[in-house]
Structure formats: structure tokens, C-alpha cells
Amino acid sequence: MKVDIVIVGAGPGGADAALLLAKAGKKVVLVEKDEIGGECLNWGCVPTKALVHAAEILDITKESKRFGIEISDAKADWQAVLAYKNRICTMLRMGLTKSLEAAGVEIVKGFGKLKDKNTVLIEPSLSNEAARSLEADYIILAAGSAPFVIPSITLSERIVTSRNIYDWPELPKSILIVGGGVIGLEFASFLNAFGVAVTIVEMLPRIANTEDEDVSAELTRIMERRGVKILTSTKLAALTEDEKGLNAKFENEAGLTEATFEKALICIGRRPAFSQMGLAEIGITVEKGVKVNAKLQTSIPNIYAIGDLTGESILAYISSAHGKIAAHEILGKEKKYNLEVFPRCIFTNPEIASCGLTEKQLTEKGIEYEVKKAMYAANGKASIHGKRDGFLKLLIEKSTDKILGAAIIGDSANLMIDKAVLAIAQGMTAGQLEEILAGHPVLSELYTAALES
């Protein structure tokens, strides 16, 4: 069978590309080995944020007395929380599937593999189905990423990755989270709220290492206050399993220590998922991910690669932007996104969001800058919400007054960051941003407070 475009992978990247191309009248086949919506909708962004939200409701309920509301015995029912998460994922997956079908996209279940520059072989997911071969003018590879696992550690019922916690019949009493990056921190935050004793082990000197040091320090302070144990500059030397649970050996400057846990969650990063897809065999260059140019073409020009698969980011909205850029290229059009200045969000409690350059990057670039900071504790709305932890800071170039970076840790940081993204992307100066009024009482007044500081 011959079609215009075959897309391998129905995550946010592949699905958005498919929708755009089909709506433009192209004959599109979308090949997916697993679930429509990819990692994002089924195991990543959406389900974790549902669990974050449930944990937030539990926290608010437990603290309700300080707002004059009496609720007794608030607790998490893990199976009911999972049922809520499943309802959201199913609803969104069905919605996406309907949109794809309505646009005329043909969805084919199976594992897509390249035979040559115009042919995708589809190994069926069911053994009673026959393999298919599809010819296409263009191919978009959107196969995403998979969790990276320490080679010396064998995954099991007790030692899991972010994919498996939804299979737990009940919450464990204790968990070791290996890796203090974005994914590990989000899991640590909501599992702690659900009453699990959480320990994070991180090899680097601080958690949330990609953020500024003061953001990491504030998150560490708050998480430790909530009872999360954080071991930094510490290596997991061994993780063994017996009938009672897991034994972990930690190694740091002070020497070796040991601790036992019921479960362990490995969150040490993700890697592009191109194995078994026959890419190298047909001459596609693969480095840390599938190598692409600015138009997202691989080393074979009619084959595009997008999203996590390129190794350029692990973010759903970058995958989605990539999908739309590649689709426009195929249609002979150009689509631009600002892939320099965008929100970087961490859904911990409290949330973290940043954009533009960090203090470390400004220093490395030799840019002289000024820090303007405002504390949540001094903001009226934050006090009303009872969420007084955190701060907002703006990094301003001294010579031009331009805002070059922003970081927020605190209530609704992921909403609050949009104003900074817009200001930095539009090249605004601190003076210009100060002219823009915020409402009252709102969290956005933190911008005014920082700029006037």
C-alpha cells in the first residue's frame, strides 16, 4: 500500500504531526505499538499530574482547619486515586483517537521498522495478524524515549521505573527514589503527601540540579520539612532484594551506609527509543538521539525525526512543536516556534518554573546581571492560600536592563512563569515590565514586588 506519510509513534509529536497533515488533505498512516497518546498521555505528564493534583487535595484537606473548615480523617485511597487518574487518561485518549480518525488518519497497531527510505514494515502486536509493508513519500519517526536503567540493577516488582507505579495494588510504606531530577522529584513530592516514607539519593551535590542553586536549596528545605530524606553527593553502590524487601548501600565521602526499603523507583533519566527500528541499517545517523537538522530532517531528507527521539529534549510540548514543524516542512511551508525561551516546569509541592538563562549560564557567558527577588511570604494572595513558601526572581542584564532569566518556586509557579516567558521572548526590559500592572490580590504582584525591590 502506498500513502503520502507514515508516522511511527503516536505520542504528542506523532499525533500532532498526523492531525496537521491529514487536515491538509494528505493520506497519513500513524503506527503505534502501544497506546495512542504515547508516554505523555498514558504514563508521563497526564497521569503524574493527576496524582500530583490528588496529593494537593489531600494536603489542602488536611490543613483545612486553619481556614475554618472541619474535615476529619482525610486520607488517600490509592485504588480510587488510580481510578480517577485512569478516567482522565481514558477520556483524553478517546478524544485524541476520535480527532485523529475524524481528520482521516489511519491508525495501525504494531511495531514500525524501516526497510528502506520509503518503506515501513509493521510487525503486528497480535500474533494472528500478518505483517504489513507501507510505502510512503515521507516518514516521520516519533518513537519517543524510554527510562534509562542502571545496568547493574534488575527491575522487578519492587524495583520499578516511572511506568510501573500504576500497577501497585497499594502504596508502599517506604520508597527509595534514585535520582533527584524532575521526574524523581515529582514522584517524591506526591508519594510523600500520600504518606509514603520517601528517601531520594542523588549523585550530584544538589537535587533539581538544572535549576539555580537557591531554587534547589529552597526545595530541599521544604521537602525535608515535609519529611523527605535527601541524600546528595551520594551514590547508590548496591541494591539487593530479599523476601523482606530491598537493601540499599550508599556511598559518599563519609563512607558506606545501608538502609532498607519496601520499593525503589529508578529515575535517572531517559534515552531515545530507536532500538530495533532499523535506522542505522538504512544509513540514518544516530548520535545521542536521531540526528536532525533545523527542519528536523534526518540524514535521509524524506525521513524526519521529532521529539524525545532526537535526544534534544524530554518535554511533551517540544515534541508537539517538532511534530508541527516537520508537518509544515512536508507541506512546503515554514512554521516557527521559539525553542530558546519556554517554560521549564517541575510539578513538586511547591511548584518550580523557570525560563531563559540561569545564573550559572549568565556567569559562564560573562554577562553582568542583577537579581530582583520577591518572597511569597510577603504576597497577600499567597498568605490567603496559606502557601507562603518560595520566591520569584528575575535576572536582569546590567548593561541593557533586559530580562534574561526568571525562576519561581512557590504556589502556581507553572502558571506564573508565562509572564516572564513572554517578557523574555519579546526582549522586554525590566522597566517595560514594571509598567504593566497586576491585579490585586494576585500572585502576579510578585513581579511588581521583585521589580521594585
Residues forming the site for ligand FAD (CB under 6 A): 8-14, 31-34, 38-40, 44-45, 48, 111-112, 142-145, 162, 183, 273, 277, 307-309, 314-317, 319, 347
Collapse the DSSP code of 148 into the 3-class scheme (helix H, G, I; strand E, B; otherwise coil) and give the result. coil
Which CB sits closer to ligand FAD, 45 or 193?
45
Q: Which three cell numbers stand for residue 138?
A: 515521507
Judged by beta carbon, residue 93 or residue 388, the one nearer ligand FAD is 93
Q: How far is the CB of 89 from ligand FAD (least distance, A)?
A: 12
In the complex, least distance from residue 187 CB atom to ligand FAD, rounded to whole angstroms: 7
The rounded distance, in Å, linking the Cα atoms of 12 and 386 is 36
User: 376: closest CA among 442, 277, 283, 280?
Assistant: 442
| Phi (first) and psi of residue 318, to 5 degrees | -75, -40
Beta pairing partners, 30: 7, 107
Say how far apart CA 229 and CA 220 lie, in whole Å.
Answer: 9
What one-letter code names the amino acid at 70? E
CB of 267 vs ligand FAD, minimal distance in Å? 8
Q: Between residues 181 and 356, which has the closer beta carbon with respect to ligand FAD?
A: 181
Q: For the beta carbon of residue 286, count every other beta carbon within 10 angstroms.
A: 18
Angle at CA of residue 416, ends 449 and 46, nearest 5°: 160
Distance from first CA to last CA of the chain, Å, rounded?
65
What is the distance between the alpha carbons of residues 357 and 355, in angstroms, rounded to a whole number?
7
Determine the residue type at 440: H
Shortest reach from residue 272's CB to ligand FAD, in Å: 9
Nearer to ligand FAD, 145 or 298 (CB): 145
Minimum separation from the CB atom of position 106 to ligand FAD (A) = 14
- The beta-strand segments (E) located in 281-411 are 303-305, 344-346, 352-356, 369-375, 391-397, 403-409
Q: Which is nearer to ligand FAD, 9 or 405 (CB)?
A: 9
Estimate the crossing angle of helix 12-23 against helix 78-103, to 10 degrees.
30
Please report which residue ranges of 176-291 form alpha helices under DSSP H.
182-193, 213-225
C-beta of 190: minimal distance to ligand FAD in Å?
11
Q: Which of 53, 322, 385, 440 is catalytic?
A: 440
Per-residue burial over 174-183, b if 16 or more Cβ lie within 10 Å, else e, is bbbbbbbbbb
Q: Which is nearer to ligand FAD, 180 or 307 (CB)?
A: 307
Q: Does 440 qualify as catalytic in the annotation?
A: yes
Q: Return the amino acid letter for 124.
A: P
User: At closest approach, how far in Å is the CB of 56 from ligand FAD?
Assistant: 15
User: What span, in angstroms and rounded, lies between the C-alpha atoms of 297 and 309?
Assistant: 13
Nearer to ligand FAD by Cβ, of 180 and 433: the residue is 180
Active site residues: 440
